[in-house]
């Protein structure tokens, strides 16, 4: 069996990495350890690089048609990895999950329409909604012990009083890495169908399940979910290839799908580059072993964070994610206002982490730590943080 070396530290300078290039404009300092934006500091699975290199050697980069093998690789992946049965006609390409959310918002809703999101949540849900002149309706998650749950009572009230046309679900949920259980998803589907609400289910973190937990695709939980959902996912987070801009969308209900896919087609929004299709097919066909080792490495990194905080910084309580490589850090016990908390991480410790309030005001007292980095880098970050906290 090939053993992949996730401990290898790769210098990303000069590769145009957003994580580094945007440090100065986002944090006002380019000399920070980048533990923020959600990509990984690991080399891709070698078969992806080989497939791309081999295509690049052909000297003509003309218009290209996705192969049948590309579509089949997505269908097989969703079936084998998640038991999610999808047919070719239900599937389309989209140029990124956030763009896919924007496209669905534009097609299915009108300016002024209400769209429900559940903060603390991935901030582009709010930005895409507002940027398209739709109205954000917050249904904040409820904090429970060391986790979160959906507030169904408040959601029902929102549906009755504000009549939103759409809801954006994060499944698994970012931040926190929560995989919603089947019962919760079924209940949500039934309520949304009753109130004629379309659900966009963002499942981009669904392949990155940890500790043996299973991903549950929203559209798979019930007939209601199938009827009202637009599901989005990608090999981008899973295989560290967001730069290839490859994502997929599944719409099961033909009444939603037929006019929508026609619109995508007419506008050319569903046309992938060959870089996207070749990278995707190689990842889904050959990436299983790499992914399994990656998930194990991430679990070990989360363990490193948990042990470190338990021993050195018990004030910081990491929430153990069920999926993905983003650790939601509860820093409320430090008793610092958010501005000082961010200052502590950024200016005192020299670390670039996402400010919890980026995900909504419910993220006050939290920071989000990306642990998809070689362990020597992670331990260096933990050491810098300890020194900064002990100095205050
Ligand atoms: C929940 C979620 N959706 C979407 C994205 C970004 O997807 P894309 O780059 O395909 O737009 C991210 C990236 O962090 C994410 O966490």
Asked which of 245, 266, 286 is the last residue of a domain, the reply is 286
**Closest atom, ligand 1, to C-alpha of 326:** 16
- Cα(13)–Cα(37) distance, integer angstroms: 15
Per-chain mean pLDDT for the chain: 97
Does residue 225 sit within a domain?
A: yes
Is residue 96 lining ligand 1, measured as CB closer than 6 Å?
yes
158 and 23 in a single domain? The answer is: no
**Which pLDDT value is given to residue 271?**
97
Does residue 9 sit within a domain?
A: no
Average pLDDT over residues 348-367: 98
Q: Identify which of 212, 133, 210 has the alpha carbon closest to the alpha carbon of residue 178.
A: 210
Is residue 98 lining ligand 1, measured as CB closer than 6 Å?
yes
268 and 324 in a single domain? The answer is: no
Average pLDDT over residues 165-175: 98
- Could you tell me which residues come within 8 angstroms of residue 228 by beta carbon, excluding any fewer than 6 positions away? 189, 192, 193, 197, 198, 199, 253, 256
70 and 206 in a single domain? The answer is: yes
Total number of residues shown for the chain: 392
> pLDDT tens, 98-142?
999 999 999 999 999 999 999 999 999 999 999 999 999 999 999
197 and 212 in a single domain? The answer is: yes
Is residue 240 lining ligand 1, measured as CB closer than 6 Å?
no
Is residue 174 lining ligand 1, measured as CB closer than 6 Å?
yes
By most ligand atoms within 8 Å of CB, the mutation choice from 39, 98, 127 for ligand 1 is 98
Does residue 66 sit within a domain?
A: yes
**Which pLDDT value is given to residue 117?**
98
Average pLDDT over residues 346-371: 98
Domain tally for the chain?
Answer: 2
Quick check: pTM over 0.85? yes
**Closest atom, ligand 1, to C-alpha of 98:** 11
Does residue 54 sit within a domain?
A: no
**Ligand 1 center to 204 CA (angstroms):** 6
* Angle formed by the axes of helices 124-131 and 97-108, nearest 10°: 40
Is residue 372 lining ligand 1, measured as CB closer than 6 Å?
no
DSSP-derived pairing of the beta strands 166-170 and 114-117: parallel
Q: Name the pLDDT band for 240 (thresholds 50, 70, 90).
A: very high
Does residue 2 sit within a domain?
A: no
Q: Does 392 score more than 90 pLDDT?
A: no
**Which pLDDT value is given to residue 18?**
97
With vertex at residue 79, the alpha carbon angle to CA 74 and CA 84, rounded to the nearest 5 degrees, is 105
Q: What is the DSSP string of 161-214?
A: HH--SEEEEESSBTTTTB---HHHHHHHHHHHHHTT-EEEEE-TTTT-B-TTPP
Question: Can you give the CATH number for the domain in which 182 is found?
Answer: 3.40.640.10
Q: Name the pLDDT band for 1 (thresholds 50, 70, 90).
A: confident
213 and 348 in a single domain? The answer is: no
Q: Does 146 score more than 90 pLDDT?
A: no
282 and 292 in a single domain? The answer is: no
Does residue 280 sit within a domain?
A: yes
- Cα(75)–Cα(68) distance, integer angstroms: 11
- Cα(147)–Cα(141) distance, integer angstroms: 10
Q: How many CA atoms lie within 13 A of 59 on its CB side?
A: 0
Does residue 8 sit within a domain?
A: no
**Ligand 1 center to 97 CA (angstroms):** 6
Question: Can you give the CATH number for the domain in which 348 is found?
Answer: 3.90.1150.10
Place of tokens 């109205």: 135
CA separation, residue 289 to residues 19, 106, 129 (Å):
27, 39, 38
Query: What residue numbers bound the domain in which 344 lies?
Result: 18-45+288-390
């Amino acid at each position: 069996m090939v053993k992949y070396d996730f401990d290898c530290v790769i210098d990303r300078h000069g590769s145009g990495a957003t994580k580094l290039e945007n440090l100065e404009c986002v944090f006002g300092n380019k000399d920070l350890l980048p533990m923020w934006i959600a990509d990984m500091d690991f080399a891709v699975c070698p078969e992806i690089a080989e497939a791309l290199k081999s295509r690049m050697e052909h000297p003509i980069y003309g218009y290209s048609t996705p192969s049948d093998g590309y579509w089949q690789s997505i269908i097989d992946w969703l079936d084998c990895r998640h038991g999610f049965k999808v047919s070719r006609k239900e599937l389309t390409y989209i140029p990124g999950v956030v763009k896919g959310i924007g496209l669905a918002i534009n097609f299915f809703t009108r300016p002024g329409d209400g769209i429900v999101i559940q903060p603390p949540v991935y901030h582009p849900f709010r930005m895409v909604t507002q940027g398209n002149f739709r109205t954000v309706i917050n249904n904040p998650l409820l904090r429970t012990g060391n986790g979160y749950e959906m507030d169904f009572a408040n959601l029902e009230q929102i549906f009755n009083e504000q009549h939103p046309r759409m809801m954006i679900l994060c499944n698994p949920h970012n931040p926190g890495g929560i995989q919603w259980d089947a019962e919760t998803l079924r209940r949500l589907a039934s309520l949304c169908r009753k109130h004629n609400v379309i659900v966009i289910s963002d499942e981009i973190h669904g392949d990155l399940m940890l500790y043996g937990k299973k991903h549950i695709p929203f559209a798979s939980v019930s007939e209601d979910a199938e009827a009202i959902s637009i599901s989005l996912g990608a090999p981008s987070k899973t295989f560290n290839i967001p730069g290839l801009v490859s994502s997929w969308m599944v719409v099961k209900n033909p009444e939603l799908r037929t006019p929508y896919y026609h619109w995508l087609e007419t506008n050319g929004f569903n046309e992938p580059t060959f870089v996207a299709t070749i990278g995707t097919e190689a990842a889904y066909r050959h990436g299983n072993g790499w992914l399994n080792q990656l998930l194990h490495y991430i679990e070990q990194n989360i363990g490193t964070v948990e042990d470190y905080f338990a021993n050195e910084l018990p004030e910081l309580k990491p929430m153990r994610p069920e999926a993905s490589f983003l650790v939601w850090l509860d820093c409320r016990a430090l008793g610092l206002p958010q501005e000082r908390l961010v200052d502590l991480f950024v200016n005192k410790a020299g670390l670039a982490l996402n400010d919890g309030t980026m995900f909504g005001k419910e993220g006050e007292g939290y920071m989000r730590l990306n642990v998809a980095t070689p362990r020597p880098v992670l331990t260096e970050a933990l050491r810098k943080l300890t020194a900064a906290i002990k100095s205050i």
